Structure 1
Amino acid sequence: METFWITAAAALWGAAAGLLIPRAAYRFSVSPGEPWRTACPAGHPLTGAGDGWLGRARCPDGEAYGPRASVTSALSSGACIVLAAATGARPEPMVWLLLAPAAVLLATVDFTAHRLPDVLTLPLAAAALVLLGVAAVLPGAGGSWTSALLGSLVLGVCYFALFLMSKGFGFGDVKLALVLGAVLGWYGWAIVLVGTFAGYVLGALYGIALMLAGRARRETRIPFGPFLLAGAFAGVLLGSCAS
């Protein structure tokens, strides 16, 4: 019964947080070097909570912009439901539920603009480590903060090496690795490997599908962040079920 109420609360939280993603995604989805958007497509200034970052993604005339709120809300809510159901009444679900909407926002921006903004990835990495540090000292924690810290550092270094050697990696992926290494490392090195490998497989399958459809060539760069996040999601689910 306790897990039911946790899952229900997670669903509501994820849905509500997902409704706030479209405006932020629209503002962040610009080419590198360009300033964040400050007006809607019709030119109306974005105002409201947090200097225009929070609120409905609609022009004053009612026209919606950015990704569909129904889609981002469903994705965020679905991720939170699955994470809460898999992890149960332990401390770390609170961490996963806070990170999940941010992961949906990052994936949305990367798909749209092929960019993982530093203003999202770096604070998210710090927040993940701080929140997991708090979870680690609470009763019933299912992971290790030390392995989370080491996972963040090791995966960051490995992705930096790949960035130097491969044209398929962006530097945003390196910074995202700090987040992924922390959440996967919480459950140990085996989960780090599984979650990382799953991200590569998903990204490769997407690239192959694009080539088969004639929408990409071997040298075409794809947004890799969403697949790295999906792989980490799978790794967290596996780790939570095994712990």
Structure 2
Amino acid sequence: MNIPLFLFCGGPAYDGEGRPKPLMKIREGRSLLVHFLLYLKQHRASSMPASVILLCDDGQEAAIQAALNGLSYPVPIHIRACGPRANTFEKFSRALDEAADRRALVQFGYPDIFSFDEFSEPALGALESGSSVHISAAALTSRFPRLIVDIYNNRIKGISNYTSPVPANPLHVFGGDLWGRVDQLRALVQEFRSQAAAPSPSLEYDFFFWLINHDKMSCVMLHGERMWIDSIRDVNQLLARMGDAL
């Protein structure tokens, strides 16, 4: 779907230079954010978002703009400050409040989660007619082989393939994608705020937990390779996976 993509950028200092995670330099002076935008351009060429809106904290606009200098991109990129030290829920709420088209479909995501070989999204009809928040979910995986254990005597009975999904496990990881229609998402946020006890709720736990309890969340399952950039090892794996394509 060619709909606006909002990316949660900004955040606290992540490195010794005082830069937030999306702006940390990882290769040839390029930030993680620029790598994500170039990856998006390459892997979603046929379904690029209508625009990309970078949600940051107050005072981070100039640094993000500097990181984007010289970047040629096929869709408009906008930078939007959402308050001092705004968390993801505050950025999410601010973006919805400032959206010009209340009936527009939108997607929210993170510039440090990369997916390969597959791009999953909810059906257009489900987004237009439903009042649920759609989020992506990925099965837990392990870099270690799976063991088949006899739980009655602790004997190991077998071993599985390397780096396979954890079998028969109901736990999945939030894949980092969120879709919905602006007016429906705003109504859910307002209802949640009227009931929430937490003074500064989080998007990924408090709001999601409330949505689940009110049967307002739908799942889009991811099955392709997915990479969360949380350490230098992850950065090295990302660069090896992308090679010289960018």
TM-score under structure 1 length normalisation: 0.25
Larger Rg: 2
Larger proportion of strand = 2
Larger proportion of helix = 1
State the structure with bigger RCO (CA 8 A, min sep 6), 1 or 2: 2
